[in-house]
């Protein structure tokens, strides 16, 4: 096992190896031979000289082993050569810190970006982050649909977004019409809203003639996915019964409920109310006019007792979709729900879905952005993490580490300022 200092020394050594620091194909490397020699010379002047020849200085949060972000994330500085062919050079606008990003760094997430040495890191590494909005700052001569100033998002997860600059193939990017949108809205559109959208559309055969008479129930309702689900359901005439965790004081819980009512939630209850047994059953009975307005879909991102209680409210033949496991408790199901109510229990993973349905994913994103432009889809609350080029590794990694803590006032989002 290497110490951190040893790793950094190793990284510095590799940065001085000619071919390593540059993205791009062997052709690029051949063209850039004189510049590489300048880098190999290692003087600071030489590096500046490289920049003057069109190289973009960049920093990326990378990891070469799994663990807690504060222990394994390293800020890696490198240079990006001018783009050629179908390459596009990008500058970060915003990138959220989603729970899945942390799980990926911890090594407990099923998709694991491969570790490689493309960026010239001391050890093969992956760039952290899966979602984000970038601005195009340069394009290769074969790039067809992108130009300087355009905004893009990643076509797939796992492309690494926690970096000030990147260079990618045009085919790996989705162009976004930025008209009327903010970097935050674009940088957070492709994971949570798409997850909510697809779960509501694809896991229930809603009777659209009964708009306003059917319900969905969800926990984690104040999460990014939960907030998206509330707003989409409101737009589509589906009532929502939303569960949030109790805050330290009743006033804070009420304030959170009010926040979700303002987004369009039909009903909001706290977890303690959900788990109160008979009185919650009565409440649901009244809410749904004794089941005349059925709860036809459950969205579960918590698990444990909370998920069981959600399932018990579902009308016969309905579906509980699990998409997260924030409590780390398994989903336990009374057999009666399967035998007598014919409930279906399934799961959804937007990464896999998106890889299978790339065009539908783009359409879904565009539909959410259409609603956003129309003022019908509100921004999630965020805690901005300003990333300036001189910001240090420890500071950035500590911000990331806080992401999985509960009761946050907003999602952490990197906002890059040049
Ligand atoms: N399957 C998929 O395709 C997919 C896609 C997107 C997201 N997700 C998953 O969905 C979940 C929410 O993601 P997000 O980005 O929307 O989250 P987010 O905006 O960062 O919010 C986190 C949510 O998790 C709750 N939470 C945190 N710790 C908890 C705990 N110990 N027990 C119960 N709830 C807890 C928070 O509630 P408090 O405010 O009460 O702490 C909050 O509602 C995550 O598990 C994520 O991995 C899955």
Residue numbers annotated as active site: 109
Is 18 inside any structural domain? no
Is 246 inside any structural domain? yes
Element (H, E) at 371: helix 358-373
Ligand 1 atom nearest the C-alpha of 351 is 3
Taking the C-alpha atoms of residue 200 and residue 193, their distance in angstroms, rounded to an integer, is: 11
Specify the residue with its C-alpha closest to ligand 1, atom 30: 327
Half-sphere exposure of 407 (CA within 13 A, CB side): 8
Is 90 inside any structural domain? yes
Is residue 329 domain-shared with residue 260, that is, in the same domain?
yes
The boundaries of the domain holding residue 277 are 203-352
Is 181 inside any structural domain? yes
Is 40 inside any structural domain? no
Is 47 inside any structural domain? no
Is residue 162 domain-shared with residue 223, that is, in the same domain?
no
- Return the pLDDT at 398: 87
Q: What are the angstrom distances between the C-alpha of 338 and each of 318, 343, 347?
A: 10, 5, 16
Q: What are the angstrom distances between the C-alpha of 403 and each of 63, 66, 102, 103, 348?
A: 17, 16, 8, 10, 22
Rounded to the nearest whole angstrom, what is the distance from the C-alpha of residue 48 to the centroid of ligand 1? 43
DSSP-derived secondary structure for 317-352: T-EEEE---TT-B-----HHHHHTS--EEEE--HHH
- Domains in the chain: how many in total? 2
Spans in the chain with pLDDT lower than 50: 1-50
Find, among 159, 7, 117, 162, the residue nearest to 72 by Cα: 7
Taking the C-alpha atoms of residue 377 and residue 194, their distance in angstroms, rounded to an integer, is: 13
Strand partners, 175: 152
Find, among 24, 161, 7, 169, the residue nearest to 86 by Cα: 169
Is residue 122 domain-shared with residue 245, that is, in the same domain?
no
Count of other CB atoms within 10 angstroms of residue 7: 18
Strand order across the 126-127 sheet: 74-80, 56-63, 126-127
Is residue 301 domain-shared with residue 393, that is, in the same domain?
no
Per the listing, tokens 């359409």 go with 363
Is residue 228 domain-shared with residue 121, that is, in the same domain?
no
User: Is the C-beta atom of 191 inside 6 A of ligand 1?
Assistant: yes
H-type alpha helices, 33-145: 33-40, 44-52, 69-72, 99-106
Rounded to the nearest whole angstrom, what is the distance from the C-alpha of residue 361 to the centroid of ligand 1? 21
Taking the C-alpha atoms of residue 368 and residue 174, their distance in angstroms, rounded to an integer, is: 15
Taking the C-alpha atoms of residue 140 and residue 352, their distance in angstroms, rounded to an integer, is: 30
Q: Which residues contact 118 (CB under 8 A, 6 or more apart)?
A: 23
Ligand 1 atom nearest the C-alpha of 302 is 33
- Return the pLDDT at 404: 75
Is 157 inside any structural domain? yes
- Return the pLDDT at 54: 84
Is residue 63 domain-shared with residue 161, that is, in the same domain?
yes
Taking the C-alpha atoms of residue 36 and residue 200, their distance in angstroms, rounded to an integer, is: 52
Half-sphere exposure of 99 (CA within 13 A, CB side): 18
Is residue 240 domain-shared with residue 178, that is, in the same domain?
no
Is residue 182 domain-shared with residue 212, that is, in the same domain?
no
What is the token pair recorded at 286?
């009244």
Per the listing, tokens 């565009």 go with 366
Rounded to the nearest whole angstrom, what is the distance from the C-alpha of residue 100 to the centroid of ligand 1? 9
Rounded to the nearest whole angstrom, what is the distance from the C-alpha of residue 49 to the centroid of ligand 1? 46
DSSP-derived secondary structure for 28-65: HHHHTHHHHHHHHT--HHHHHHHHHTTPEEEEEEEESS
Is 147 inside any structural domain? yes
Specify the residue with its C-alpha closest to ligand 1, atom 42: 223
- Return the pLDDT at 32: 30
Strand partners, 75: 61
Is residue 141 domain-shared with residue 210, that is, in the same domain?
no
- CATH number for the domain that contains residue 83: 3.90.180.10
User: Is the C-beta atom of 115 inside 6 A of ligand 1?
Assistant: no
- CATH number for the domain that contains residue 283: 3.40.50.720
User: Is the C-beta atom of 198 inside 6 A of ligand 1?
Assistant: no
Is residue 222 domain-shared with residue 317, that is, in the same domain?
yes
Which of 334, 352, 370 represents a domain boundary (last residue)?
A: 352
Q: What are phi and psi of 329, to 5 degrees?
A: -100, 145
Find, among 243, 238, 227, the residue nearest to 284 by Cα: 243
Is residue 146 domain-shared with residue 207, that is, in the same domain?
no
Rounded to the nearest whole angstrom, what is the distance from the C-alpha of residue 390 to the centroid of ligand 1? 31
SS3 243: strand
Is residue 301 domain-shared with residue 223, that is, in the same domain?
yes
Ligand 1 atom nearest the C-alpha of 192 is 6
User: Is the C-beta atom of 222 inside 6 A of ligand 1?
Assistant: yes
């Amino acid at each position: 096992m290497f110490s951190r200092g040893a790793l950094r020394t190793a990284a510095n050594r590799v940065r001085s190896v000619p071919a390593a620091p540059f993205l791009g194909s062997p052709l690029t490397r051949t063209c850039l031979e004189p510049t590489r020699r300048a880098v190999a010379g290692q003087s600071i002047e030489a590096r500046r000289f490289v920049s003057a020849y069109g190289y973009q200085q960049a920093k990326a949060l990378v990891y070469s082993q799994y663990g807690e972000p504060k222990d394994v994330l390293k800020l890696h500085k490198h240079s990006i050569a001018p783009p050629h062919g179908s390459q596009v050079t990008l500058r970060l606008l915003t990138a959220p810190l989603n729970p899945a990003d942390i799980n990926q760094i911890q090594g407990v997430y099923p998709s694991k970006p491969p570790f490689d040495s493309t960026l010239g890191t001391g050890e093969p590494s992956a760039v952290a982050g899966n979602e984000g909005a970038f601005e195009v700052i340069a394009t290769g001569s074969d790039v067809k649909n992108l130009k300087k100033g355009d905004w893009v998002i990643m076509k797939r997860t796992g492309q690494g977004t926690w970096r000030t600059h990147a260079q990618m193939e045009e085919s790996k990017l989705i162009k976004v019409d930025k008209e009327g949108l903010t970097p935050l809205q674009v940088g957070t559109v492709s994971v949570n809203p798409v997850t909510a959208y697809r779960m509501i559309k694809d896991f229930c055969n809603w009777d659209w003639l009964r708009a306003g008479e059917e319900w969905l129930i969800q926990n984690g309702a104040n999460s990014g996915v939960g907030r998206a689900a509330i707003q989409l359901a409101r737009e589509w005439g589906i009532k929502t019964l939303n569960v949030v965790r109790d805050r330290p004081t009743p006033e804070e819980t009420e304030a959170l409920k009010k926040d979700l009512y303002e987004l369009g939630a039909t009903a909001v209850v706290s977890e303690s109310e959900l788990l109160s047994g008979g009185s919650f059953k009565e409440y649901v009975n009244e809410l749904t006019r004794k089941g005349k307005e059925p709860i036809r879909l459950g969205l579960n991102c918590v698990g444990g007792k909370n998920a069981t209680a959600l399932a018990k409210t579902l009308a016969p033949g309905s579906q509980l979709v699990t998409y997260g496991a924030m409590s780390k408790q398994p989903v336990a199901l009374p057999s009666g729900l399967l035998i007598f109510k014919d409930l279906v229990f399934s799961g959804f993973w937007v990464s896999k879905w998106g890889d299978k349905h790339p065009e539908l994913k783009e359409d879904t994103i565009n539909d959410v952005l259409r609603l956003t432009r129309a003022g019908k889809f509100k921004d999630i609350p965020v805690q901005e993490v300003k990333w300036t080029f001189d910001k240090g590794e420890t500071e950035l990694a500590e911000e990331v580490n806080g992401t999985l803590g509960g009761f946050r006032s907003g999602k952490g989002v990197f906002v890059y300022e040049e």
